[in-house]
Amino acid sequence: MTSDLVQLGSSLSLTEEEDTAVVFPTGVWHAEPVVSGFFVVGRLVSSKSFLPEALFSTLKKAFNPVRGMEAKMIEGDRFCLKFFHTLDRDRVLQRSPWAYEKNLLVLAPVDSAEDPSLIDLNFCDFHIHIFGLPLGKMTKEVATFIGNKLGRFLDVDLDGNGDAWGSSLRIRAIIDITKPLRRALKIRTVFGDDHLITFTYERLPNFCYLCVGVTQISVKLSFKKVLLTPVITLLSGIGFGLLLL
The CATH number of the domain covering residues in 35-116 = 3.30.70.330
Q: Round to whole Å and give the CA distance between 45 and 58.
A: 16
Contacts of 102 (CB under 8 A, 6+ apart): 205, 206
pTM of the model: 0.72
Which residue ranges does the chain devote to CATH 3.30.70.330? Answer: 35-116
- Return the C-alpha torsion angle 99, 101, 103, 106, nearest 10: -40
Q: Give pLDDT tens digits along the chain (245 positions).
A: 444 444 545 567 878 777 777 776 766 555 555 567 899 999 999 888 899 999 999 999 999 999 999 999 998 899 999 999 999 999 999 999 999 998 999 999 998 888 999 999 999 999 999 999 999 889 999 999 999 999 999 999 998 888 888 899 999 999 999 988 899 999 887 788 888 999 999 988 875 554 545 543 333 333 333 333 344 444 333 344 333 32
The residues, ordered by sequence, that sit 6+ positions from 228 with a Cβ below 8 Å of its Cβ are 182, 184, 185, 186
pLDDT tens digit sequence for 3-29: 444 454 556 787 877 777 777 676 655
pLDDT one-digit tens code per residue, 60-90: 999 999 999 999 999 889 999 999 999 999 9
